[in-house]
Amino acid sequence: MPSHLPGIASGRLSPDEYAANFLDIHPPLDHHQAVVEADRCYFCYDAPCVKACPTSIDIPLFIRQIMTDNPIGSAETILSQNILGGMCARVCPTETLCEEACVREEAEGKPVKIGLLQRYATDVLMDERGEQPFERADSTGKRVAVVGAGPAGLAAAHRLAMHGHDVVIYDAREKAGGLNEYGIAAYKAPDDFAQKEVDFVLSIGGITVEHGKAIGRDVSLSDLRNSYDAVFLGMGLAGVNALGLENEDLDGIADAVDYIADLRQATDLSTLPVGARVVVVGGGMTAIDVAVQSKRLGAKDVTLVYRRGQEKMGASGYEQDLAQTDGVVIRHNAKPKSLVTEAGRVTGIEFEETLEDGGRLVGTGVTFTLPADTVFKAIGQTLVPAALNGSAETIALDGGKIRVDDERRTTLPGVWAGGDCAATGEDLTVAAVADGRIAAESIHRALSSVAA
């Protein structure tokens, strides 16, 4: 973001304020706290929390292992289902998944702190043991290409390596991790945890990462299919939805995902420019993350505007409360109508109030304008289908994403897909990990049957 524009500046806070604003938002439990919290679990038979977890972690078992002072065993229980269990413990919306399903939540409105307990166990294993708890099988001689080093790709690569297959990951960026490295709010995963977890995953062996290699630009799907025994696509969503307004290319308007990536890679937050008056358009987790971080970087006024009602927002209730506690104003039922510009830059944005008519969003004709030094677009990302061109056959899409079956097989033989680029449901880190693991097991079965 250009820092020379009026109203946009870096260094708005003192070093101590930056440090305090980007501390770990969920301080970890110590040993005593973890054991006490674990003791609250009822260890339900047919536990609803397990059903609510996209990776089907045996939650009662790992909590019982913590209670019996076996955090290493607990971590292995977690990681056997979710190799990125450490990051998921930090970023998963547990309040709408396992903790919402917890019987204590229903009974007393205070669920077992499953996310923090999962973090406790995985941190103990990674910090105290540090080594990979899983062994790689003897080499099968089979080679699998994985496109994307995000949660889906890493999960697939790790499980494939466990089965003895050789894996090459192609990733467009300079670092592995995907959204965990570039797209998560800095206060959710401080201390370079994303890269520590990547190193942990890769330590199983048999996995090579080719950085700066984007599908459609540096490698083609057709070439990968010809060179490898199987291909897994987990490259996420590279496109950003536009607002559809005139002058969207002017200074003062930016993609939220790009700004968050810049923030995550900044070694000195005081050098990162931020507007005094920030408007965020969107209602999902990315919108909340860029709004809260703008405020924590020193923006004076931050307003998030969503086109529908509060109940339709993609961000969880907890995230919305966090934003408002930080001073972010959230306005509902308004859609962007036009950008206000002056001297080649954006100075504000006009909105039209909306209502739902039989499920259809319509404008009311009532408008209002918010002054802004910066407008962030956070209305979703899209797959760039052109990146998949070059194959002799066309890969089928479903709703703008790659169509897959229950085993994450695409319509192209020998090609699987998962994560945000695939039409599998929720766009969550934990769901992407589940996709990667499911696809890897399917790939392993397919390669094993060929070998037989």
Give the residue range(s) of CATH 3.50.50.60 domains in the chain. Answer: 2-22+240-380, 143-238+383-451
Question: How far apart (Å, rounded) are the C-alpha atoms in residues 129 and 142?
Answer: 31
pLDDT at residue 2, rounded to an integer = 60
Question: How far apart (Å, rounded) are the C-alpha atoms in residues 284 and 74?
Answer: 32
Closest CA to 205 of 257, 167, 256: 167
Question: How far apart (Å, rounded) are the C-alpha atoms in residues 311 and 314?
Answer: 9
Question: How far apart (Å, rounded) are the C-alpha atoms in residues 253 and 245?
Answer: 11
What mean pLDDT comes out for the span 11-36? 96
Strands (E), 50-206: 143-147, 166-171
Question: How far apart (Å, rounded) are the C-alpha atoms in residues 331 and 314?
Answer: 14
Report residue 278 as tokens: 């920030």
Question: How far apart (Å, rounded) are the C-alpha atoms in residues 349 and 247?
Answer: 11
Q: What is the CATH class of 2-22+240-380?
A: alpha beta
Residue 386 pLDDT class (50, 70, 90 cuts)? confident
Closest CA to 375 of 244, 241, 256: 256
Report residue 367 as tokens: 């408008």
Q: Which fold has domain 143-238+383-451?
A: FAD/NAD(P)-binding domain (3.50.50)
> Taking all residues of the chain, what is their mean pLDDT, rounded to a whole number?
95
Burial class (CB in 10 A: 0-12, 13-18, 19+), 428: buried
Report residue 205 as tokens: 């062996």
Q: Is the pLDDT of residue 82 over 80?
A: yes
Q: For the domain 39-129, what is the CATH code?
A: 1.10.1060.10
In terms of phi and psi (left: phi > 0; alpha: psi -120 to 50; beta: otherwise), the region of 122 is alpha
* Tens digit of each residue's pLDDT (9 = 90 or more) over 227-266: 999 999 999 999 999 999 999 999 999 999 999 999 999 9
* Tens digit of each residue's pLDDT (9 = 90 or more) over 266-306: 999 999 999 999 999 999 999 999 999 999 999 999 999 99
Question: How much is the CA Rg of the chain, to the nearest whole Å?
Answer: 23
Tokens 């401080």 correspond to what residue? 190
DSSP letters of 48-77? Answer: HHHHH-TT---HHHHHHHHHTT-HHHHHHH
What mean pLDDT comes out for the span 383-391? 77
334-342 and 230-233 beta bridge pairing? unpaired
Report residue 155 as tokens: 């999960």
Dihedral sign computed on CA atoms, order 32, 34, 35, 39: positive
pLDDT at residue 158, rounded to an integer = 98
Residues with Cβ within 8 Å of residue 140, at least 6 apart in sequence: 163, 164, 165, 447, 448, 451
Residue 127 pLDDT class (50, 70, 90 cuts)? very high
pLDDT at residue 390, rounded to an integer = 53
pTM beyond 0.75, yes or no = yes
* Tens digit of each residue's pLDDT (9 = 90 or more) over 205-227: 999 999 999 999 999 999 999 99
pLDDT at residue 88, rounded to an integer = 97
Residue 6 pLDDT class (50, 70, 90 cuts)? confident
CA distances from 169 to 172, 206, 211, 215, 424 (A): 10, 11, 8, 11, 21
